[in-house]
Structure 1
């Protein structure tokens, strides 16, 4: 027991700043790019003020997500220590005390809400809703089958909506549906890969045992269909002005190709880390680049 305490004390002497940075998950900050989706779809990504406001909102949501990571790591530390990958998280590895982690989480939550409040009441309320939903997830809802998947997907939808309110652009229902089904598609693929992985520890995500593989496959299919149909209806019935509608319509083809390709990767057991899988597959890269080019020309040419 003495040796264990001494080893923990030694580890805790590591630089706190570095541990707080690792706790903040910088590799996940790219998710805040979702806040630029609404201004881009509305055709104002080339205007300085809306983009600046959306970027400020992205910073706010990064701060809020850091608060969630801090609380999550403190609560899950005992289980993380039994996981081959998560055992290296700062709190689980005794590189950061729970008190310091929670203080950091509180500070970033206050900072995130304060920044969101500067952008207006709607953005503040969306930020507050995001924080409340994710805290509910951490404090128990992540152990309830289906609810956990919906809450994770909801986080992406709230980010997308906040980007629109911050930039002052209208957010169409089709855009929100694309965000929702797209997020469900990624989350379902992630759960499917985690369930099939020999590295995943059931104790770190007990809810996986409640999901039959066949049901997750069905969810992937439903989410894929929902994403493609919602995007197709948005692209073919775009209500804005000064756009090349034919290019928006054609952009549906590479968009669908990317979805189908990623669905194929998920069916082979990949998808646990979507942010890496997307950039590892050449077909996905080509489809994504083609889609982005067509969309940009259709909206801004």
Structure 2
């Protein structure tokens, strides 16, 4: 089994494990070089836990009534709330994004949803993402967190990739939620380091409060489970302009032993490789492999 298991994030349904690894493996190597880690990470030591195909509809011929996603498809309260959170975060980090006003806070009407999608399409973060893909990403997050069948199928993919030789799990975006839950479901695992990048794990109500296992304690001070034994090191990295990593510091929800880093990830703030090439990521991986 691989020493390093990677877990991708949202929007990868038309990719594949080999294609994603062709970008992740060199980026991991570059991160290790930033900290002068001895030796190199061989491609055979890295695996991608791929689940994107579970969100890919079966191929079929289109009829005249088939249309891509539009603003009207964002009709679920969870999706509307998450879209609103992305809009507010983008407006705070990108001066080019018009902030929502009070009437758009809850995105309760198709018009306010359209306004949110239009504002995000003009942001640095979502500039290259088509509207239908933005809506599809919202639906992926909702499906994982609210549909037990989807959650189970995705999590089994990650659990199946983690073996007795796995020492590091690097997980991006929604994949960080999956990896966290997978490790919690594997008592006695040998993983030494969990590295989460661009993670939404700290978003209360939408993500944190829906975790499995559920956080314990009073709601305002609830604490999530630690995803391993005392030997596990957890490093969370968040880009300053990463809208998905809305809550940058996960320590209030998971404990002060969690190591937190803030970094610059450039124009494509949520891109996984922008995290993997940073020295903070390289150091977290290198320490566990030493």
TM-score by length of 1: 0.31
Greater percentage in helix: 1
Greater percentage in strand: 2
Higher-Rg structure is: 1
TM-score by length of 2: 0.31
Relative contact order higher in (CA < 8 Å, ≥ 6 apart):
2
